[in-house]
Amino acid sequence: MKLRQLIEEYRPGGAPVCRPYIIAEAGVNHEGDMELAKRLIDEAAEGGAEAIKFQTYKADTIASKDSPSYWDLSKEPTDSQHKLFQKYDKFWKSEYEALARHCEGAGIEFLSTPFDVESARFLNDMMEVFKISSSDLNNKPFIDYLCGFGKPIVLSTGAAYLWEVEQSVSWIEAHGNALSLLHCVLNYPTDDANANLAMIPELARKFPEHVVGYSDHTLPRDMKTLEVATLLGARIIEKHFTHDKTLPGNDHYHAMDKEDLKRFHARMDLLFGLLGGHRKEPLASEAPARRNARRSLVAARAIPAGKRVEAEDLTWKRPGHGIDPRDFDRLLGCTAAAAIEEDAVLQWPMFEQ
């Protein structure tokens, strides 16, 4: 299923836990190298991601020269956002067109977050959904512009108060765009203690008409965070993606790689094997227990032929081969067709119809 279809066809209710749509957030981990960007696409597809997402910006339009860092300087020593963005803003329209074509060949959906009007305009021809970064959650003119394309919006909600999310949702709803909200914590990386995954069901409760997901910045480790997010109802999961987690730089060390993705899918196989279906009905494997561990109505004492059954004539014991105890009241007053021994498992042919 494509991301657009997932968001547009979402209806409240249904299965509370579903396999999530995985977005491998490559961002600018290609570091301006087209061959590396294509490798990231191939490895994300190999790992089992449904989509790979890049980030499209120019340093001069995303940040002023006076834009201090907000990341761990021991991992990424660049102390200015503008300086950092200058390192990775070399790709533009032609490069993203080539990457979109490569995604099509690899069988993975292409996405890129636009950070300005020009990039949004040309990316519109390459993708069916617009992602809005947490950093633009309060950027009403840009949100209005993106909504004008008439496509579903995926909005990250990091570093926001609930009233800010409500306000942004109201702007998007006014345009009529289908919407997904991603819980997000804007720390790079996010400590496990700060993951605050309880916001996933809270967003679903507050915004029941919209798809809720999770944009994760915790260290990948065993991918347990994403497993818990899935159990809490995240329908979309976005996580930074790299080909090499040992590389220096802000988005490599807290990213997952293709092996992490494979581990996650293996855990999902186990998880959904445990979850099974959400319809309440007996499993085929429960048939012996259903037949033998349930109870039947049983003669509490000998019942002579012709006697009308009284409550004192009856008890209930295993197995469940006889008259169901739910028919207790129906059996009262029936006449024994023949003598019935004490402790006999009662059957309807034992009584006159």
Q: What is the pLDDT of residue 56?
A: 95
Residues 289 and 269 in one domain: no
**Quick one: what percent of the chain has pLDDT higher than 70?**
99
Residue in the block written with tokens 């970064």: 133
Q: Could you tell me if 187 and 217 are in contact, meaning their C-beta atoms sit under 8 angstroms apart?
A: yes
Q: Rounded to whole angstroms, what are the CA distances from 206 to 81, 128, 195, 203, 258?
A: 34, 26, 19, 5, 34
Q: Given a cut of 90, is residue 27 above it in pLDDT?
A: yes
Residues 150 and 17 in one domain: yes
Tokens linked to 65:
């020269």
Closest CA to 58 of 97, 86, 99: 86
Residues 259 and 289 in one domain: no
| Domain C-terminal end among 251, 275, 299 | 275
* pLDDT tens, position by position, 139-151: 999 999 999 999 9
Q: What is the pLDDT of residue 260?
A: 97
Residues 240 and 340 in one domain: no
Measured CA to CA, the distance from residue 175 to residue 342 in angstroms comes to 75
Domains contained in the chain, number? 2
Q: What is the DSSP string of 143-176?
A: HHHHHTT---EEEE-TT--HHHHHHHHHHHHHHT
Mean pLDDT is lowest, of 8-22, 169-183, 287-301, 307-321, for: 8-22
DSSP H helices in 186-335 = 199-206, 224-231, 258-275, 287-292, 328-331
Identify the domain containing residue 110 by its residue range: 3-275
Measured CA to CA, the distance from residue 44 to residue 41 in angstroms comes to 5
Residues 241 and 315 in one domain: no
What size, in residues, is the chain? 353
| Domain C-terminal end among 275, 298, 323 | 275
* pLDDT tens, position by position, 188-228: 899 999 999 999 999 999 999 999 999 999 999 889 999 99
* pLDDT tens, position by position, 38-85: 999 999 999 999 999 999 998 888 888 888 877 677 777 767 888 777
Q: What is the pLDDT of residue 82?
A: 83
Report how far Cα 287 is from the mean position of its chain's Cα atoms. 33
Give residue 250's pLDDT band: very low, low, confident or very high (50, 70, 90). low
Mean pLDDT is lowest, of 59-68, 118-127, 265-274, for: 59-68
Q: Given a cut of 90, is residue 168 above it in pLDDT?
A: yes
| Domain C-terminal end among 222, 243, 275 | 275
Residues 219 and 114 in one domain: yes
Residues 271 and 291 in one domain: no
Residues near 217 by beta carbon (within 8 Å), at least 6 away in sequence:
184, 185, 186, 187, 188, 189, 190, 240, 254
Q: Could you tell me if 103 and 128 are in contact, meaning their C-beta atoms sit under 8 angstroms apart?
A: no
Residues 208 and 341 in one domain: no
Residues 178 and 292 in one domain: no
User: What's the pTM?
Assistant: 0.88
Residues 92 and 134 in one domain: yes
Residues 18 and 77 in one domain: yes
Residues 160 and 71 in one domain: yes
Residue in the block written with tokens 């108060």: 161
Mean pLDDT is lowest, of 17-26, 30-39, 97-106, 275-284, for: 275-284
| One-letter identity of residue 274 | L
CB-count exposure of residue 296 (10 Å: 0-12, 13-18, 19+): buried
Q: What is the pLDDT of residue 71?
A: 66
Mean pLDDT of the chain: 94
At 27 the three-state DSSP class reads strand
Measured CA to CA, the distance from residue 338 to residue 211 in angstroms comes to 65
Query: For 349, phi and psi rounded to 5 degrees?
Result: -65, -15
Q: Given a cut of 80, is residue 86 above it in pLDDT?
A: no
CATH number for the domain harbouring residue 342: 3.90.1210.10
Q: What is the pLDDT of residue 292?
A: 97
CATH number for the domain harbouring residue 179: 3.20.20.70
Q: Given a cut of 80, is residue 307 above it in pLDDT?
A: yes
